[in-house]
């Protein structure tokens, strides 16, 4: 079968050579679809999540355009602006640009909150070609006149759905209003809730739409299993699993920030080196946890869904769902943290009775029945024959359902 190569997408020779050095043999689907449209200067609505190669999908065309234009950045300004919801994602995009732009003499920097601003102010003094920023810090620096936004001709809004979830909509609107209207705008989002659609309609001009749908298709190299277990036995089961030698680098997911912090503490007390990553931690504490995990000093990271977005750690051997997510798409995001870049990985879900409805929704989304590793799947209610069920029976069922939910 004929496969598109990076040569066919219209990128400069220099960029194609860099990708070769990087051993990127073929573009990913989002890259194949988006890059030619972006080189033709279309606005773009990209429906794709982290892990699909979307950073290169928007980063490469920006590097392409900027390197061909004979312009230098004006002091304190930037020619391209990439907005990301979290510091981790911003840093990750900055790192990717370093790699993709290593053979091109362009300046870029990253600004984010939670740390002192002096180094960021200095980095912006002479102006940059590409600025990656989180919204709050960008506005802070703009208001203090350390950054000007009137030279932006490429604007990327990354992970728009998370941006809205995290309450950045007003900041995003303010920033957008400060940009020149003559610009190329790209919006990426894993999901398209109404808020994102409204925002896209406001900021994009005749956009082309590209969508890759890994949301419902977990990477094939992830082995998925489920353990049916009582809620109160989950912790001892987790400890046992983590003591096995193959559980080398593990992300454990919980539903709440509180639970993530508590579980990491409990695991540490049981002699398992772990840390947590959640939104109640300061930026520097989150970065520290991530660095410890990356360097292998802690082997277990307990995380919530939002905090885990954009974690780009290779060689994660296992993802454990200590609690199943309420939103089935989050399951796919979670297990995508393992088996990256072609490696294999395992995802294990500890499912108690009350979580069966979530498990069912997940299985419907991924169109797969997850293999059982231990325990037995509790019987679900027989299908209702409408109208034929007596009032008394219905009452009884309601009661037993309540019992399951409160389990
Ligand atoms: P992203 O979705 O941008 O976070 O990218 C996910 C991972 O895929 C990163 O580790 C990239 O370095 C890698 N990647 C991106 N594009 C390609 C490609 N065409 N071939 C191989 N790896 C890639």
Q: State in Å: Cα 330 to ligand 1 middle.
A: 20
Spacing of C-alpha 171 from chain mean position: 20
Ligand 1 pocket mutation, candidates 19, 28, 132, 308, criterion most atoms within 8 A of CB: 28
Atom 22 of ligand 1: nearest residue by CA position: 24
Residue 183 burial by Cβ neighbours in a 10 Å radius (0-12, 13-18, 19+):
middle
Mutation to probe ligand 1, out of 8, 16, 55, 102 (largest number of atoms < 8 A from CB): 55
**Same domain, yes or no: 294 and 205:** no
Ligand 1, atom 14, residue with closest C-alpha? 53
CA of 340 from ligand 1 middle (Å) equals 9
Spatial separation of the C-alpha atoms in residues 340 and 362, rounded to whole Å? 21
Q: Cα-Cα-Cα-Cα dihedral of 32, 35, 40, 41, to 10°?
A: 140
Tell whether 196 and 237 lie within a shared domain: no
CA distance 196 to 202: 10
Phi, psi for 188 (deg, rounded to 5): -115, 140
Clarify whether residues 262 and 145 are in a common domain: no
Q: Are residues 162 and 292 in the same domain?
A: no
Q: Is residue 231 part of a domain?
A: yes
Which of 155, 179, 211 represents a domain boundary (last residue)?
211
Mark whether 386 and 360 lie in a shared domain. yes
* The pLDDT of residue 220: 67
Q: Which residue has the tokens 């290779």?
A: 314
Q: What is the count of structural domains for the chain?
A: 2
- The reply to whether 263 falls in a domain is yes
Instruction: Label residue 52 exposed, middle or buried (CB < 10 Å: 0-12, 13-18, 19+).
Output: buried
pLDDT digits (tens, 9 = 90+) for 189-223: 988 888 999 999 999 999 999 988 654 556 667 88
Ligand 1 centre to CA of 52 (Å) is 7
Ligand 1 centroid to Cα of residue 24, in Å, is 8
Q: Whose CA is nearest to atom 11 of ligand 1?
A: 53
CA-based max dimension of the chain: 79
Q: For residue 287, count other CB atoms closer than 10 A to its CB.
A: 18
The residue to mutate among 20, 46, 53, having the most atoms of ligand 1 within 8 angstroms of its beta carbon, is 53
pLDDT at position 211 is 87
Residue 216: count other Cβ atoms within 10 Å of its Cβ.
12
**Protein residue with its CA nearest to atom 18 in ligand 1:** 24
For ligand 1, which residues put their CB under 6 angstroms from it? Answer: 24, 27-28, 31, 50-56, 312, 341
Residue-range definition of the domain harbouring residue 264: 216-405
Dihedral pair phi/psi, residue 362, rounded to 5°: -65, -45
Cβ contact 49:190 at 8 Å: yes
Predicted pLDDT at 218: 61
The pLDDT mean for the chain works out to: 87
CB 277 within 8 A of CB 301: yes
Q: Relative to the CA of 96, which ligand 1 atom is closest?
A: 12
Question: How far, in Å, from the CA of 263 to the mean position of ligand 1?
Answer: 32
| 242 and 367 in a common domain | yes
Residue 321 to residue 340: CA distance in whole angstroms = 18
80, 130 contact by CB (below 8 A): yes
Q: For residue 406, what pLDDT is reported? A: 28
Cα 83 to averaged position of ligand 1 atoms, centre (Å):
19
Torsion angles phi and psi, residue 120, rounded to 5 = -70, -40
Q: In this predicted structure, what is the pLDDT of residue 214?
A: 52
Q: Tell me, what's the pLDDT at 1?
A: 47
State which ligand 1 atom lies nearest to the alpha carbon of 99.
Answer: 12
Q: Which residues pair with 318 in a beta bridge?
A: 250, 346
Closest residue to atom 8 of ligand 1, CA basis = 53
Q: Which of 181, 178, 170, 182 is nearest to 142 (CA)?
A: 178
Ligand 1, atom 5, residue with closest C-alpha: 53
Distance 108 CA to ligand 1 centre (A): 20
Domain endpoint, select from 162, 185, 211: 211
Task: Please check whether residue 327 lies inside any domain of the structure.
Answer: yes
Residues of the chain with pLDDT under 70: 1-2, 213-220, 309-312, 340-343, 380-407
- Residues 318/347, Cβ–Cβ less than 8 Å: yes
Alpha-carbon radius of gyration of the chain: 23
- Judge contact between 375 and 228, C-beta under 8 A: yes
Domain-ending residue, one of 179, 211, 243: 211
Ligand 1 centre distance from Cα of residue 102 (Å): 16
Whether 295 is covered by a domain: the verdict is yes
pLDDT confidence of residue 356: 94
Edge-first strand order for the sheet with 318-321 is 274-277, 300-303, 250-253, 318-321, 345-351, 222-228, 371-374
Nearest protein CA to atom 1 of ligand 1, as residue: 53
Clarify whether residues 243 and 376 are in a common domain.
yes
On whether residue 1 sits in a domain, the answer given is no
Same domain, 166 and 244: no
| Residue 234 in tokens | 């989950």
Q: Answer yes or no: do 126 and 224 share one domain.
A: no
Q: What is the Cα–Cα distance from 151 to 78, expressed in whole angstroms?
A: 6
Distance 53 CA to ligand 1 centre (A): 4
CA pair distance 151, 137, nearest whole angstrom: 19
Q: How far is the CA of 29 from the centre of ligand 1 (A)?
A: 11
User: What are the φ/ψ torsions at residue 396 (nearest 5 degrees)?
Assistant: -60, -45
Please tell me whether residue 210 adopts helix, strand or coil conformation. strand
Position in ligand 1 atom list of the atom nearest CA 92: 4
User: What's the gap in Å between 301 CA and the centre of ligand 1?
Assistant: 22
Same domain, yes or no: 198 and 220: no
**In this structure, what CATH number is given to the domain that contains residue 118?**
3.40.50.300
- Are residues 88 and 11 part of one domain? yes
Cα(41)–Cα(39) distance, rounded to whole angstroms?
Answer: 5
Q: Which residue's structure tokens are 């299908």?
A: 383
Number of helical H runs and strand E runs in the chain: 16, 14
Q: Do 169 and 284 belong to one domain? A: no
Task: Specify if 199 maps to a domain.
Answer: yes
């Amino acid at each position: 079968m004929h496969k598109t190569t990076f040569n066919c997408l219209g990128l400069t020779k220099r960029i194609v050579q860099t990708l070769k050095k990087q051993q990127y043999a073929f573009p990913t689907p989002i890259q194949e679809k988006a890059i030619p449209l972006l080189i033709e200067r279309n606005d773009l609505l990209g429906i794709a999540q982290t892990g699909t190669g979307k950073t290169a999908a928007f980063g490469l065309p920006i590097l392409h355009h900027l390197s061909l234009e004979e312009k230098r950045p004006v002091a304190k300004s930037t020619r391209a602006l990439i907005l990301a919801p979290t510091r981790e994602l911003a840093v990750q995009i900055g790192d990717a640009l370093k790699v993709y732009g290593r053979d091109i003499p362009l300046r870029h920097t990253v600004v984010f909150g939670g740390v002192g601003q002096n180094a960021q102010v200095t980095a912006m003094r002479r102006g940059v070609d590409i600025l990656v920023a989180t919204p709050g810090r960008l506005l802070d620096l703009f208001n203090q006149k350390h950054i000007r936004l009137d030279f932006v001709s490429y604007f990327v809004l990354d992970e728009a759905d998370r941006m809205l979830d995290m309450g950045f909509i007003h900041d995003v609107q303010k920033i957008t209003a400060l940009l020149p209207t003559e610009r190329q705008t790209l919006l990426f989002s894993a999901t398209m809730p109404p808020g994102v659609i409204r925002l896209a309609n406001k900021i994009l001009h005749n956009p082309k739409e590209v969508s890759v749908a890994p949301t419902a298709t977990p990477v094939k190299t992830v082995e998925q299993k489920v353990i049916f277990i009582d809620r109160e036995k989950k912790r001892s089961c987790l400890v046992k699993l983590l003591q096995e030698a193959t559980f080398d680098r593990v992300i454990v997911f919980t539903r709440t920030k509180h639970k993530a912090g508590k579980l990491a503490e409990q695991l540490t007390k049981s002699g398992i080196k772990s840390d947590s990553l959640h939104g109640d931690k300061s930026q520097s504490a989150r970065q520290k946890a991530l660095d410890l995990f990356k360097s292998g000093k802690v082997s277990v990271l307990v995380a919530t869904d939002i905090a885990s977005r954009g974690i780009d750690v290779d060689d994660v051997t296992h993802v454990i769902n200590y609690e199943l997510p309420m939103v089935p798409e989050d399951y796919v995001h979670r297990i995508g943290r393992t088996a990256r870049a072609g490696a294999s990985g395992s995802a294990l879900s500890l499912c108690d009775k009350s979580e069966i409805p979530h498990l069912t929704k997940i299985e419907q989304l991924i169109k797969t029945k997850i293999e059982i590793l231990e325990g037995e799947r509790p019987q679900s209610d027989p299908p209702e024959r409408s109208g034929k069920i007596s009032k008394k029976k219905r009452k009884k069922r309601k009661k037993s359902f309540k019992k399951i939910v409160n389990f």
